Chains A and B, each alone.
Chain A
Amino acid sequence: MSGFKLESQTARLCSGRLEEEREMTLSHLDRLESESIHIIREVAAEFRNPVMLYSIGKDSTAMLHLACKAFAPGKPPFPLLHVDTTWKFKDMIRFRDETAARLGLDLIVHVNEEGVARGIGPFSHGSRMHTDIMKTQALKQALDRHGFDAAFGGARRDEEKSRAKERVFSLRSAAHRWDPKNQRPEPWGLYNTQLVPGESVRVFPLSNWTELDVWHYIYRENIPVVPLYFSATRPVVKRDGLLIVVDDDRLPLEPGETPVGMPVRFRTLGCYPLTGAIESDAASVPDIILELMQTRGSERQGRAIDNDQVGSMEQKKQEGYF
């Protein structure tokens, strides 16, 4: 029927019109790149005091690369913010400081000192409370303290079901809450940037990227990423089905538990006691891409916090989690 007819017509016309179309058309990755740059520029033009959340992972590293392109030959007109839970991998902190220095950007590091004083940690208080106090509450503190009215995040819609529902410009109340039932329409990429005092927006330039798109882009653009994404023999303990890499001596070992050296890497990065590694020999970006094309599990599989209960990501987002 009509569908097939169209295809054969297209094939016949291949030599002429298609050639011209191709020249006029951006590749998939080029289109995503331009869309993200457009979003980043829109924020810089419309908001009083924007900030870019830099979580050091592959997504925020790609986002930062896009921000640099958006304002070339100048620099991005906003600082970077890292919310440090004090439980990140050592390699992440090293990479963060190198990256900010290499690009010559302002980096604000925020730690919830109150949480530190109370000794909050993933082992003593559980993953949920740790994430809430050291990450979600800490983020709100940092945004309030500096009066940021727009904050970029590297979240993608393909990561998780509730993220698939979120707008590119996501309005947050003065209490940083997300109201999923009352989101602003965004037809034609016309973003409503009007706020009443106290409100803010979270902006997601990578909304339409997939995990594979991000790695493809990192490969094409040769963007440096944290070495933890690449396979190496690391000391590992198995807990609740997760492979936890022992990054420092704060990890309390159960009786009889001994870290074993295994070739592992990470698909996502977070607090080391909450982020599961995967067994892998992928030691380069091309290896990772080939591995990804055959994988049967989603990238958030290794995140302890997502699976606490059904809908837990949505709930955390409503409470102000990115």
Chain B
Amino acid sequence: MPAGAESAGPPTDVDAVLEARDGKDQLRFIICGSVDDGKSTLLGRLLHESKNVFEDQFAAAEVESRTYGTQGSAVDLALLIDGLQAEREQGITIDIAHRYFETDRRRFIAVDAPGHEQYTRNMATGASNADVALILVDARKGLLTQTRRHSHVIALIGIRRVILAVNKMDLVNYDEGKFSSIVEEYRVTAGEMGIEEVTPVPVSALTGENVLAARGGTPWYDGPTLLELLESVEVRRDGMDGKFRLPVQWVNRPHPDFRGFSGTVASGYVERGMDVVASLSGRQSTVERILGPSGELERAVPGQAVTLVLADEIDVGRGDMIGDAEHPPEIADHFAVHLIWMDTQPMLPERHYSIRLASAAGMAQITDLTHRVDIDTGGYLAAKTLDLNEIGYCKISLDRAVPFDPYSESRQTGGFVLIDRVTNATVGAGVIDFALRRASNISWRQMNVDKAARSRAIGQEPCVLWLTGLSGAGKSTIADRLEQKLQALDRYTYLLDGDNVRHGLNKDLGFTDQDRVENIRRIAEVARLMVDAGLIVIVSFISPFRSEREMARALVEEGEFVEIHVDTPLEVCEARDPKGLYAKARKGDLANFTGVDSPYETPQDPELRIDTTQLSVDEAADMVIAYLESTRTGVE
């Protein structure tokens, strides 16, 4: 980098230079603000003036300024930063950019966050490991909704220090009163959100005022410049005073004589000889060896990638957490959390999402959305769903107990993401407030008679035959014939039919998307119980959403779920219209009707597909029976 060389003259002793460099601490900061507040220009100015821009990069920005520049004949410094074609063309920032620079005193990672509301989700990535937030406000406009939204996100992520840069001071004639009133207003807002420290500085990214040096525009301000603030703000490293936690990433077994548990120390430290516990099993052992990146260690610290060898053979795998035996990590499966929603499809309570928390993975559903945050007022609103970029407080339930810490104690073991099970998009990011109940109290009771024993007793392998398809596709007719044929083969069966179940178990549910999700969740759970009882369960439900069918599949064991798509074209169903429902829906008398004004998500890879325009009811039932005979032995 050019920076160090500039002031110190050409260095000659490489070891001394590198040692100084390696010992320099690092500040990771995120820059946020609304669109057009001048974030990219400010960062460009900071890099350029601190001599962290290479000549050819500056020359390229000069050339681009003629095409895209917004500063007349001057070089548009924002073009040093905005890396995507669309960003340069539109003059906005779409995704976060990471910039690396250093001065004689510190090294920096600057994360430039997008200002547009629709890209707010992109800033969570950059905020999650930032030490400080640099919040930009346009002196002419004052605090905007987006300023509050960003402040909410960074407060939720746990950033407690903010540098408030009031920018474009040149456009308000460096008016001290303007500066003070924005600072006062922000201090109040920030205080309500739990941001502890706000340090303000008046700047102009365009003229460079108070970026690296005072330029005479603000004689009333005698505080440090922006760079001086960044160089001196105190950095608290994550996890320094925490309890020892190692989320297990990988079990290292290169040969029978070595078994180590690899991962990165999330908090606290570990020493040879220390007593540790594997949180899922509760089994204790002692640390026999610590392998660091460069060999054996006496002690490992937060952020260090290690492999632990324990004195005893205990069962530990990916997703488990090794912790201090004196302060063992808790496990739980039900949490109160803050959640930021990041997907254009709204969050649906009761829907199953994949969750990732440290190295653990599983399924999760939001059982209760307590409130949504009103960004403008900071107040709480009642809500049924969360839309893109909304923040809420909810209860979340997992399909298994996982090791965790409250986020306030450890970022690395208390933050999680939710993933949509069909699109695979990362749809939400959350932080654990606290566990609602300790999983140890409600652990699954192991009964002496289990599924295997029951199926042996009745002599069949249980399974779920899940018939999905449009209304009028022929599901119920085929299901009925199929059950008759299975009975004739002396199989124990039960048929769960959509209409029939809605008369009883699910009579409280309507046909909105949320109710459809809950409808299928209950059916899936009932089917699971019946499989546990040893039955062959035939389910005949429209079940329009892929993610709910996948959830039902995940409830039973591998191979026990047979998805059967009763594939009848919409025109054919509509022509048959056995219950006259299509006619009603078309007239507008029936809302949310699948295929008409509510979507049906076609199965992508079902075990069986029945084309009812080609097969008779008997042939369809025989096809299912043939599939069962080919895939299972019949009796265990």
Contact = CB atoms under 8 A, between A and B. Distances in A.
Interface stretch (B182-190, B302-310, B481-489): B302-310
B10 A290 contact: yes
A75 interface: yes
B232 A293 contact: no
B433 to A, nearest CB: 16
Given A34-B304, A38-B305, A27 B22 contact: yes
Contacts of A3: 199, 223-224, 228-229, 231-233
Contacts of B253: 74
Contacts, number: 233
A34 B264 contact: yes
Contacts of A184: 425-426
A6 B234 contact: yes
Nearest to B97: A164
B98 A207 contact: yes
A24 B240 contact: yes
B411 interface: yes
Contact of A28 (B21, B98, B304, B411): B21
Interface in A168-209: 180-181, 183-190, 192, 194-196, 199, 207-208
A88 interface: no
B67 interface: yes
A26 interface: yes
B532 interface: no
Contact of B14 (A35, A72, A290, A310): A290
Interface stretch (B79-87, B139-147, B167-175): B79-87
Contact of A298 (B56, B82, B303): B56
Contacts of A199: 424
Given A1-B199, A164-B99, A181-B86, A289 B14 contact: yes
A157 interface: yes
A2 interface: yes
Interface string A1-13: 1111011001000
Interface string B245-284: 0000110111100100011100001000000000000000
A224 interface: no
Contacts of B85: 310-311, 314-315
A123 interface: no
A286 interface: yes
Contacts of A252: none
B237 interface: yes
Interface residues of A, number: 80
Contacts of B627: none
B519 interface: no
B17 interface: yes
> How would you classify the secondary structure of chain B's contact residues: helix, strand, loop or mixed?
mixed
B491 interface: no
A194 B95 contact: no
B12 interface: yes
A44 B96 CA distance: 27
A194 B421 CA distance: 9
B404 interface: no
Given A2-B199, A4-B232, A185 B417 contact: yes
A210 B84 contact: no
Contacts of B17: 289-290, 293
B496 interface: no
Given A31-B303, A37-B293, A293-B1, A157 B125 contact: no
A33 B293 contact: yes
- Most A C-beta atoms less than 10 A away, residue of B14, B224, B255, B263: B14
A2 B164 CA distance: 13
A158 interface: yes
Nearest to B123: A185
A104 to B, nearest CB: 12
A73 B1 contact: no
Given A158-B100, A187-B128, A314-B84, 16 more contacts: A6-B234, A31-B26, A35-B264, A38-B263, A45-B249, A45-B250, A161-B82, A165-B95, A187-B429, A190-B417, A192-B417, A293-B5, A295-B2, A298-B57, A310-B63, A315-B85
